[in-house]
Structure 1
Amino acid sequence: MSAEPFKVWQCRTCGYIYDEEQGDPGEGLAPGTRWADIPAGWVCPLCGTPKSDFDMIEL
């Protein structure tokens, strides 16, 4: 059973990167926290853009 690869998401407004593998402990998101597990009301910690305005990117 292979786990789904971690994905990376980018804020369309300011370019903040959320990497599922690294999480964002400063924002209370532990490493390994999947995008789908982040609450819908979460906003970009840098500019306040809603989660819905992030795009999955390939690094």
Structure 2
Amino acid sequence: MSEAPYKTWQCRTCGYIYDEEAGDPNEGLAPGTRWSDLPDTWICPLCGTPKSDFDMIEL
């Protein structure tokens, strides 16, 4: 069984993009870190918007 494709999420407030495949090494998130693996308390590193205010997007 193959893994689900990586997804991309965007902050509704500032437009920051979180790409599961790339992760965000500057924030301590290794490449391949899934959105579901981020804690519910995670916030946008640019503007502080909560995880719940991100939308999945297609690039």
- Judge same fold: TM > 0.5, yes or no: yes
Report how far residue 2 of structure 1 moved. Answer: 1.4
Q: Which amino acid aligns with 1:24?
A: D
Distance 1:17 1:56 in 2: 10
The equivalent residue for 1:37 is 37
**Which consecutive residues of structure 2, in runs of 5 or more, have no partner in the other structure?**
none
**Which consecutive residues of structure 1, in runs of 5 or more, have no partner in the other structure?**
none
Coordinate RMSD, CA, aligned: 0.4
Q: How high is the sequence identity, in percent, across the aligned residues? A: 81
Stretches (4+) displaced over 4 A = none
TM-score scaled by structure 1?
0.98
Number of equivalent positions: 59
The equivalent residue for 2:15 is 15
Report how far residue 57 of structure 1 moved. Answer: 0.2
